[in-house]
Amino acid sequence: MEKEKKVENIEDLRNDLLRIYTDLRSGKIGLREAKEQANVSGKIIASAKLQLEYNNFTKSASRIEFLEIKPSENEKAQNQSETNL
């Protein structure tokens, strides 16, 4: 059994949902399992949305780590080269 990768941000969650969709279409997982995983994912997304709404309501600029996407190595290199111009 392969070890599951931890979902650390919204991009990981999206990729996980795409994997679930692919697994469902290929028959690797059943409809019930796909529904359960999608349900949990929806709750995670709803929680992040609630945090965004709360920040908006309170005029807070608090960062929501789960929604932060770390730049890839290519993006880092590109940003560095643009900074050096």
> Is 31 a member of any domain?
yes
* Predicted confidence band of residue 22 (pLDDT cuts 50, 70, 90): very high
> Is 3 a member of any domain?
no
> Is 55 a member of any domain?
yes
User: What is the domain range of residue 56?
Assistant: 10-83
CB 50 within 8 A of CB 22: no
Number of domains in the chain: 1
> Is 33 a member of any domain?
yes
Say which residues have a Cβ less than 8 Å from residue 51's Cβ, sequence separation at least 6.
62, 64
> Is 5 a member of any domain?
no
**For the segment 40-78, what is each residue's pLDDT rounded down to a tens digit?**
999 999 999 999 999 999 999 899 999 998 776 666 666
* Predicted confidence band of residue 11 (pLDDT cuts 50, 70, 90): very high
> Is 4 a member of any domain?
no
Q: Is the whole-model pTM more than 0.75?
A: no
> Is 42 a member of any domain?
yes
> Is 14 a member of any domain?
yes
